[in-house]
Amino acid sequence: MTQQNRDGGKLRIAQVAPLFIRVPPARYGGTERVVSALTEELVRRGHEVTLFAAGTSSTSARLRPASPRPLWELDAHERLAYEIAEVEDVARCSHQFDLIHWHLEFLHWLMAGEIQTPSITTLHGRLDGDAIRKLFAHHSNEPVISISDAQRRPLSDLTLNWVATVHHGLNLSSTYRLGAGDGGYLVFVGRSTPEKGLATAIRVAIRCGLRLKIAARIEPADLDYHRSQVVPLLEHPLVDWLGEATDCEKVALLEGAIALLMPIGWEEPFGLSFIEALSTGTPVITRPLGSVPEMMRHGEHGFFADTEDELAAACLRIDSIDRASCRKWAIERFSAERMTDDYEAAYVWLLGVPGVPRAEDAVAASRTVG
């Protein structure tokens, strides 16, 4: 590593993305969208970035294909082999980098002893359950980044090597515009799953007499829920099923909506659809679970509610929320630039630059809490 890099200058960084879909996603995809935003901003700042990702990915960094196509397009028996091969490829060329940033959850930890390059892992998923606790019992020293403070709670009694909490960021100011919300409808954007609360959202919209437009993906694991709980409700004339939306379609939907209605039923680690909605000025109606209270303020950017009656009442007073304030909040707190600032602070701390404050403190200090 050069002295310039030790002093927090330009770095040779490996960004290691999941392979299931391309980077950035053509349609639904959270982790890959965040990895893309981070990678592009790091390149813009002059870092030398190599992106390990599916071969059809698009980036201004150096792309090192780890599979010919996204894994969802390949036979199931090939997928694990490509994921293992990606980790081994990173390990083989790890000496070429100053730092490796993993977004694979845990698979690469099996190679931790063979990689001397400083590495950091962003955990993008849920951290509850006995299996996760057992894993961390064996890997408590791995430097990890959480995507919300709420994501850490299931492991709060364990002593782990948390580097920082870095909230996700996207290119919100350029991709999303302030919408008038003049479409007269509620919108749901995400997956048809009980965790996202789609069936609840439909019942609430019908109770309010408001149209609900649904842009949702159906995962194989959620087919039973979708068929039994959602499909019977789709026949109502106030409900429009649009299927999975492209980015352009999603932006247009959010701009015209009076609110994003997503009454989640789980401890959401981070919901990109919330910040996407807020960046168009569209307020959010949801339950105050998981990371959501870190992403918005009740009464300022939408409403928190628990029961279907309370959710319906919130929908009917959404006009009290100022759309311009919602957008301002999202742009200031959840931009790709802010996210990259936080990750650079984590990188510099990980590399042991003298005099640099602990990454957790630097990131916390950078947050604007108005």
pLDDT digit string, tens, across residues 179-193: 999 999 999 999 999
CA distance 328 to 275: 11
Where residue 4 falls among pLDDT bands split at 50, 70, 90? very low
State yes or no: pLDDT of 2 exceeds 80: no
* Domains of the chain from N-terminus onward: 3-171+335-366 (3.40.50.2000), 172-332 (3.40.50.2000)
The pLDDT of residue 26 is 79
State yes or no: pLDDT of 76 exceeds 90: no
- Chain mean pLDDT for the chain: 91
State yes or no: pLDDT of 255 exceeds 60: yes
CB burial string 32-60: b at 16+ within 10 A, e below: bbbbbbbbbbbbeeebbbbbbbbebbebe
Where residue 359 falls among pLDDT bands split at 50, 70, 90? low
CA distance 253 to 233: 21
State yes or no: pLDDT of 90 exceeds 50: yes
The pLDDT of residue 3 is 41
Region 159-163: mean pLDDT is: 94
Amino acid sitting at position 5? N
Where residue 70 falls among pLDDT bands split at 50, 70, 90? confident
State yes or no: pLDDT of 369 exceeds 70: no
- Which residues does 289 contact at the CB level (< 8 Å), separation at least 6? 264, 265, 266, 267, 268
pLDDT digit string, tens, across residues 197-244: 999 999 999 999 999 999 999 988 999 999 999 999 999 999 999 998
pLDDT digit string, tens, across residues 94-143: 999 999 999 999 999 988 888 999 999 999 999 999 999 999 988 999 99
State yes or no: pLDDT of 256 exceeds 80: yes
Q: State percent of the chain over pLDDT 90.
A: 83
Q: What does pTM read for this prediction?
A: 0.90
The pLDDT of residue 71 is 83
Where residue 167 falls among pLDDT bands split at 50, 70, 90? very high
Region 315-342: mean pLDDT is: 96
Handedness of CA 206, 207, 210, 212 (dihedral sign): negative
Q: At residue 170, what are phi and psi to the nearest 5 degrees?
A: -135, 170
Amino acid sitting at position 34? V
State yes or no: pLDDT of 246 exceeds 90: no
Give the SS3 label for residue 51. strand
Where residue 174 falls among pLDDT bands split at 50, 70, 90? confident
The pLDDT of residue 108 is 93
- Tokens standing for 59? 């980036």
HSE at residue 133, side-chain half, CA atoms within 13 A, is 9
pLDDT digit string, tens, across residues 265-300: 999 999 999 999 999 999 999 999 999 999 999 999
Where residue 363 falls among pLDDT bands split at 50, 70, 90? low
